């Protein structure tokens, strides 16, 4: 069984939705993750708050951002166990982030420390 | 109390104390000797008390006899060894050796707990040894709790003791650095012990409750000791109190199981609920959320009589978190039940079928419940699958009555 990371890319929810709406998304996200964990396929994960985000560039230049208005901003990720990328994609399809037009979940296999990858 | 009642009672409370102290003094390699001396002490008591009457302080009497028997044993050994080493101890030296003071008893029992719950020993053997050595259960009772023969239990205990000797496990407290890890093993065993009583296949209600209360007593011992009084220990005790509060409500007069939804909530013991709440509060120090914290919080919500959406939403979110740190099939099924209550049965059916726990009777029971009223044909199909996996007549009766109701 391989491990895959599901990376959520979306706008900063706080900028586009009410606290009540955010509450609903939070519950949906917790239920989605709970459903994966109930299949014993959850490994780990975390949200990434947009506040206090910095970009460190070439030569140590520090700028603010990435900016949450951009839909490609990473808002969090989880790592799951799956037999195939197809199974990981099925998990990703349930991610509540995808309710937002333009938002995406990127599915990437985690390299094994076996000297080949 | 008459002799025939008093001795079993004292056996339960004092046997483990005597064994722990003697084992600690002799070392694990002479565990059988310690057991022999402890058993022999009670045999002497039974004989002496039946014609001389019960002494004014039976416990002190037992300690005295145990101490003398232990001293004799050590002396015999020393005489044997003295052919090699000429040094012979005085009687006083043995007197100090066998220390049955309350402090040494508690210390010895705690150390024994850590030794028995060593990760090298199989969980089943850990429970058996705990029952025998820490709780003073007779072989008959251990066998009944496991629904196994006395021979099987004796063999299992023998192998476990051999393992302890081969692994050279010491009767001592773990280092501070190791404490949290080792404590986790102890908590696992205590919880298994409790579950063995709570969900036991044995029909003996008294024995089952004894198992649960013994597990709680061991947990209390950890809390009374400063180095082991940690948040997860308090959380586990809280969890056990919450469960224990439904003791009277969860079985009928014939020992049949009454499901949570059908229980008479007036029989839920509010004193035990209050104790559970107290220890849950004690558990909130520190910054690590253990699985026991989550399970105790889930158990807390189950002590609430009202069947509200809020209750089930809280339970669902706690299960969502519990499954992330400690997956178990039972938690997965319970989480799905909470999902049906908090969200909808239709959503829960989709999630339940993803679990594919096809060897588990409760998987089919859950699906049967969820389909009831939505698709009774599917409900019946699942209940019938459950029937093929069920092991006890009481469970069969419950599922059969669910099927019968569908046909109405």
Q: Does A33 touch chain B (CB under 8 A)?
A: yes
- Residues from chain B that touch A34, judged by Cβ atoms under 8 A, are 316-317, 319-321, 323-324, 335, 339
Domain membership of residue B80 (yes or no) is yes
* Boundary-marking domain end, from B100, B123, B149: B100
CA angle A92–B355–B378, rounded 5-degree value:
115
Domain membership of residue B148 (yes or no) is no
Q: Does A35 touch chain B (CB under 8 A)?
A: yes
| A22-36, A67-81, B315-329, B360-374: least confidently modelled range | A67-81
pLDDT over threshold 70, residue B94: no
pLDDT digits (tens, 9 = 90+) for B125-134: 888 888 888 8
Which CATH number does A2-109 carry?
3.30.70.1060
**Closest B-chain CA to A32:** B320
Q: Is the peptide bond before B24 cis (omega within 30 degrees of 0)?
A: no
pLDDT over threshold 80, residue B1: no
Report the pLDDT value the prediction gives residue A33, as an integer from 0 to 100. Answer: 98
Confidence at B85, pLDDT banded by 50, 70, 90: low
Report the pLDDT value the prediction gives residue B136, as an integer from 0 to 100. Answer: 84
Report the pLDDT value the prediction gives residue B238, as an integer from 0 to 100. Answer: 98
CA angle B283–B128–B187, rounded 5-degree value:
15
Q: Which of B313, B317, B351 sits opposite A35 (nearest CB)?
A: B351
CA distance A32 to chain B (A): 9
Domain membership of residue B82 (yes or no) is yes
| Domain of residue B388, residue span | 316-408
Report the pLDDT value the prediction gives residue B127, as an integer from 0 to 100. Answer: 85
Domain membership of residue B387 (yes or no) is yes
CA A96/CA B347 separation, integer angstroms:
15
Query: Which is more confidently placed, B2 or B172?
Result: B172
Report the pLDDT value the prediction gives residue B24, as an integer from 0 to 100. Answer: 85
> Which of B203, B278, B275 shows the shortest CA–CA distance to B244?
B275
CB–CB of B317 and A33 under 8 A?
Answer: no
Report the pLDDT value the prediction gives residue B123, as an integer from 0 to 100. Answer: 84
Top residue of A28, A33, A35 to mutate, by most chain B CBs within 10 Å, is A35
- Cross-strand bridge partners of residue A62: A56
Q: By three-state DSSP, how is residue B369 classified? A: helix
Q: Does A37 touch chain B (CB under 8 A)?
A: yes
Report the pLDDT value the prediction gives residue B278, as an integer from 0 to 100. Answer: 97
- Would you mind telling me the total number of residues written for chain B in this entry? 408
Determine what percent of chain A is predicted with pLDDT higher than 70. Answer: 95
Domain membership of residue B133 (yes or no) is no
Instruction: Read off the DSSP letter of residue B267.
Output: G
Domain membership of residue B324 (yes or no) is yes
Q: How far is CA B256 from CA B43, B200, B205, B249, B266, in A?
A: 38, 12, 10, 11, 18
Report the pLDDT value the prediction gives residue B270, as an integer from 0 to 100. Answer: 95
Query: Which is more confidently placed, B87 or B276?
Result: B276
> Which of A60, A57, A55, A56 shows the shortest CA–CA distance to A70?
A55
pLDDT digits (tens, 9 = 90+) for B41-71: 999 998 999 888 889 999 999 999 999 998 8
Domain membership of residue B84 (yes or no) is yes
* Boundary-marking domain end, from B67, B100, B133: B100
Mean pLDDT of A63-92: 90
Confidence at A46, pLDDT banded by 50, 70, 90: very high
pLDDT digits (tens, 9 = 90+) for B299-318: 999 999 888 999 999 999 99
Query: Which is more confidently placed, B47 or A42?
Result: A42
**Closest A-chain CA to B314:** A27
Report the pLDDT value the prediction gives residue B10, as an integer from 0 to 100. Answer: 84
* Boundary-marking domain end, from B100, B131, B148: B100
**Closest B-chain CA to A87:** B354
**Closest A-chain CA to B327:** A40
Report the pLDDT value the prediction gives residue A31, as an integer from 0 to 100. Answer: 98
pLDDT digits (tens, 9 = 90+) for B191-220: 988 988 887 766 777 778 888 999 999 999
Q: Domain locations in chain A? A: 2-109
Q: State the complex-level ipTM.
A: 0.90
Q: What CATH number is associated with residue B359?
A: 1.25.40.10
* Domain count across chain B: 2
Domain membership of residue B120 (yes or no) is no
Report the pLDDT value the prediction gives residue B84, as an integer from 0 to 100. Answer: 53
Q: pTM of whole model > 0.95?
A: no
Q: Does B265 touch chain A (CB under 8 A)?
A: no
Give me chain A's average pLDDT, please.
Answer: 91
């Amino acid at each position: 069984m391989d491990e895959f990371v599901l990376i959520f890319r979306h706008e900063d929810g706080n900028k586009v939705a009410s606290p009540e709406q955010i509450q609903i998304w939070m519950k949906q996200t917790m239920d989605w993750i709970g459903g994966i964990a109930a299949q014993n396929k959850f490994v780990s994960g975390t949200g990434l708050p947009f506040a206090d985000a910095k970009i460190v560039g070439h030569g140590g230049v520090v700028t603010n951002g990435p900016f949450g208005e951009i839909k490609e901003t990473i808002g969090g990720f989880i790592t799951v166990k799956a037999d195939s990328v197809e199974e990981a994609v099925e998990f990703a399809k349930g991610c509540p982030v995808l309710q937002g037009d333009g938002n995406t979940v990127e599915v990437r296999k985690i390299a094994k420390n076996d000297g080949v990858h | 109390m008459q002799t025939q009642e008093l001795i079993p009672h004292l056996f339960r409370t004092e046997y483990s104390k005597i064994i722990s102290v003697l084992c600690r003094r002799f070392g694990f390699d002479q565990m059988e000797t310690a057991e022999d001396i402890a058993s022999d002490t009670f045999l002497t008591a039974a004989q002496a008390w039946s014609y001389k009457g019960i002494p004014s302080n039976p416990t002190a009497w037992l300690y005295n006899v145990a101490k003398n028997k232990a001293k004799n044993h050590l002396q015999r050994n020393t005489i044997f060894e003295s052919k090699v080493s000429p040094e012979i101890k005085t009687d006083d030296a043995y007197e100090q050796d066998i220390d049955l003071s309350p402090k040494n008893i508690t210390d010895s029992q705690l150390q024994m707990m850590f030794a028995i719950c060593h990760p090298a020993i199989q969980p089943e053997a850990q429970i058996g040894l705990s029952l025998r050595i820490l709780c003073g259960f007779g072989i008959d009772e251990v066998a009944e709790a496991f629904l196994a023969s006395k021979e099987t239990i004796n063999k299992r205990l023998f192998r476990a003791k051999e393992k302890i000797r081969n692994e050279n496990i010491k009767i001592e407290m773990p280092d501070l650095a190791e404490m949290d890890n080792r404590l986790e093993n102890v908590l696992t065993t205590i919880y298994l012990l409790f579950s063995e009583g709570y969900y036991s296949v044995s029909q003996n209600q008294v024995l089952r409750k004894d198992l649960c209360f013994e597990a709680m007593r061991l947990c209390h011992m950890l809390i009374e000791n400063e180095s082991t009084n940690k948040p997860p220990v308090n959380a586990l005790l809280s969890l056990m109190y919450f469960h224990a509060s439904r003791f009277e409500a969860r079985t009928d007069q014939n020992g049949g199981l009454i499901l949570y939804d059908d229980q008479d909530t007036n029989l839920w013991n509010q004193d035990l609920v209050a104790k559970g709440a107290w220890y849950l509060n004690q558990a909130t120090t520190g910054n690590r959320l253990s699985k026991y914290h989550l399970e105790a919080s889930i158990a807390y919500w189950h002590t609430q009589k009202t069947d509200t959406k809020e209750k089930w939403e809280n339970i669902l979110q706690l299960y969502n978190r519990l499954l992330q740190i400690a997956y178990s099939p039972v938690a997965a099924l319970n989480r799905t039940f909470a999902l049906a209550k908090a969200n909808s049965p239709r959503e829960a059916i989709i999630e339940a079928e993803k679990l594919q726990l096809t060897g588990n009777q409760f998987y089919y029971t859950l699906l049967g419940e969820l389909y009831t009223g939505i698709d009774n044909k599917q409900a019946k199909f699942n209940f019938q699958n459950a029937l093929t996996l069920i092991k006890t007549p009481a469970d069969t009766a419950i599922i059969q009555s669910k099927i019968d109701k569908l046909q109405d």
